[in-house]
Amino acid sequence: MTRVAIIPARGGSKRLPRKNILPVLGKPALFYPVQAAFKTGLFDRVIVSTEDDQIKQVAEESGAKVMERPRELAGDRTSVVRVCQDVLEQLNGQGIHPTCFCCIYATALFITPKDLQDSFLLLEKFSDAQIVMGVSTFNLHPVQALETLDNGCLAPKWPDYNRLQSQFHPKLVASNGTFYWADTQAFLKNKTFYPDKLKGYEIPWIRAIDLDTAEDYKNVQLLAPRLLSME
């Protein structure tokens, strides 16, 4: 069985420029998910897909293999699905056919080797599972949402739930932008990380902070001394 980690890391982030290599505890952000992947012992290759020379250098210094991303796949509208397809196509051209792969976000700084190992076991345990994604619960439950009416006043979006105690609210989770394990054959057929046979691996939301804004970066800097030292 061949397994690879794919870490998409383009250079053109607009909301938080250069977010994938911003310093965190003296190392580029990308360093941490790369090292988490290596420490699992699961992967034959840890691959960073990028079009950016500086990110390429950071990836190589962190020990990862780099696959050059075509410029047409480096825009902000390019999906992670398409990037993973490109990497798998390049591997296929080299005669490498991974049985499964894990797409790890470059900004998943607080992902741990145990997260990746345990979620892989989940993929193995459920033989019909096609994707296992990192998920988190909501800090504020979605059914508590208020919508703005035409008169400018607020009203419950789902009033039936508004009358229930919170313990009777449905259990909801969302993809938290950390990772997706995928059965390669099913992924190439379905071309999505949301197939019929989808499993979730829950991660506390505090370790699933996205890195998209300056405020996110401040929060990461505050949490890093504690969360990264726990590995």
Q: What are the residue ranges spanned by the domains of the chain? A: 3-133+175-230
**What pLDDT band is residue 154 in, cutting at 50, 70 and 90?**
very high
User: Is 229 in a helix, a strand, or coil?
Assistant: helix
Task: Report percent pLDDT > 90 for the chain.
Answer: 90
Taking only the tens place, the pLDDT of each residue in 100-128 is 999 999 999 999 999 999 999 999 999 88
Name 60's Cβ contacts closer than 8 Å, sequence gap at least 6: 66
Of the candidates 103, 75, 109, which has an alpha carbon nearest to the alpha carbon of residue 87?
A: 103
Assess whether pLDDT exceeds 70 at residue 205: yes
Average pLDDT over residues 153-176: 92
Cα separation, 10 vs 160, whole angstroms: 44
Question: How confident is the model at residue 148, as a pLDDT?
Answer: 98
Question: How confident is the model at residue 210, as a pLDDT?
Answer: 86
Cα separation, 127 vs 114, whole angstroms: 21
H-run or E-run covering 45: strand 45-50
Q: How many CA atoms lie within 13 A of 102 on its CB side?
A: 35
Token duo for residue 150 = 């035409």
User: What CATH number labels 3-133+175-230?
Assistant: 3.90.550.10
Virtual CA dihedral for 121, 61, 184, 125, nearest 10 degrees? 0
Cα separation, 167 vs 208, whole angstroms: 24
Mean pLDDT score of the chain, rounded to an integer? 95
Question: How confident is the model at residue 230, as a pLDDT?
Answer: 58
Assess whether pLDDT exceeds 80 at residue 231: no
Token duo for residue 194 = 């949301």
